[in-house]
């Protein structure tokens, strides 16, 4: 099950978006590794691939302003998915995928 599906899941495999976004901020700040987030969240191969793409996109941003905007998106978009406001396709589009 992919990352976006885990944000919107109502089953036991749900990924708590506030926990995810807090953990992602720790990764961005260098206090945790991406692998630690993967392990903690129990992400399968599909979700790992999506998370790796998100991390690569962030690393590829060239200015602090772009990085801050992307961090804000990483905070709000999963919450909107969880609330059922954004679909998987809309979330991917909002993140630039």
Domain that holds residue 75: 3-94
Structure tokens at 70: 């992307």
Tell me whether residue 6 is exposed, middle or buried, using C-beta atoms within 10 angstroms of its C-beta: 0 to 12, 13 to 18, 19 or more. Answer: buried
Examine the pLDDT at 32 and tell me if it is beyond 90: yes
Tens digits of per-residue pLDDT, 63-77?
999 999 999 999 999
HEC sequence for the chain: CCHHHHHHCCCCCCCCHHHHHHHHHHHHCCCCCHHHHHHHHCCCHHHHHHHHHHHHHHHHCCCHHHHHHHHHHHHHHHHHHHCCCCCHHHHHHHCCC
pLDDT one-digit tens code per residue, 38-72: 998 889 999 999 999 999 999 999 999 999 999 99
Overall domain count for the chain: 1
Write down the pLDDT at residue 82.
92
């Amino acid at each position: 099950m992919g990352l976006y599906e885990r944000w919107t899941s109502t089953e036991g495999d749900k990924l708590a978006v506030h926990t995810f976004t807090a953990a992602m901020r720790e990764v961005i700040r260098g206090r945790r590794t991406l692998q630690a987030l993967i392990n903690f969240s129990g992400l399968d191969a599909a979700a790992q691939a999506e998370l790796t793409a998100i991390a690569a996109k962030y690393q590829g941003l060239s200015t602090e302003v772009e990085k801050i905007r992307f961090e804000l998106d990483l905070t709000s978009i999963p919450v909107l998915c969880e609330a059922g406001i954004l679909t998987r396709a809309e979330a991917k589009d909002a993140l630039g995928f």
